[in-house]
Amino acid sequence: MVKDRIKNEEDSNETIIHDQLPEHSEDVMINFLHHVIRWTVKFLSCLMVLVIIWGAIDVVFVMYETVIADPIFLIGVNEMFTLFSSFMVVLIAIEIFINIRLYLGTSVLPVQLVIATALMAIARKVIVLDVEAVDASYLAAMGLVILALGLTYWLLARKTKHASNKSANDPAPKTQQEEK
């Protein structure tokens, strides 16, 4: 089943996916375990919605505290970074929720979206990074992670684009009636 899906993916313009939990298995025990995992993922998605709501409330609270602090209605650079960090955390939580929702709807994990979420998380880290407080090895490691994620995302996007261009250029298969 998975081999057929991978072969069909290579021949079509679908995005890169990873088959996690197939809907049905021949083994009753595996089916039961898959159902338990799917209900656990649904529970986690509900918790993620709560995290998103709490995060949005926190953004409002941080903005309020920043605006009413002396001097009133002036936001400094450090406060701006704190606000950016709060916003990015909520956006990352939303991306994770989208991953969970797609996973629940299709039983597959869209790899390109997961890589994009990881890029967003590392971008948040870079935005709020205090360069003077970290050592050079940490910066180098973060740079390598960004490079690896960026390259992976680019390769996946390129493969998806190449597959869609290939299918657009191929003539449509003839139906039986057209062949006669």
Contact (CB, 8 A) for 103 and 22:
no
Percent of the chain with pLDDT strictly greater than 90: 27
Q: What's the CA gap between 121 and 9, in Å, rounded?
A: 28
Per residue in 81-115, pLDDT (tens digit) is 888 888 889 999 998 898 888 877 776 667 888 89
Task: Please tell me the predicted confidence (pLDDT) of residue 5.
Answer: 47
Contact (CB, 8 A) for 93 and 48:
yes
How many CB atoms are closer than 10 A to CB 110?
20
Per residue in 132-151, pLDDT (tens digit) is 888 999 999 999 999 999 99
Task: Please tell me the predicted confidence (pLDDT) of residue 165.
Answer: 74
Q: What angle do CA 164, 97, 10 make, to 5 degrees?
A: 20
Q: Is 22 helix (H, G, I), strand (E, B) or coil?
A: coil
**What are the start-end ranges of the H helices in the chain?**
2-11, 28-68, 77-106, 111-127, 136-169, 176-179
Q: What is the mean pLDDT of residues 124-130?
A: 83
Look up the pTM and report it: 0.65
pLDDT at 171 > cutoff 60: no
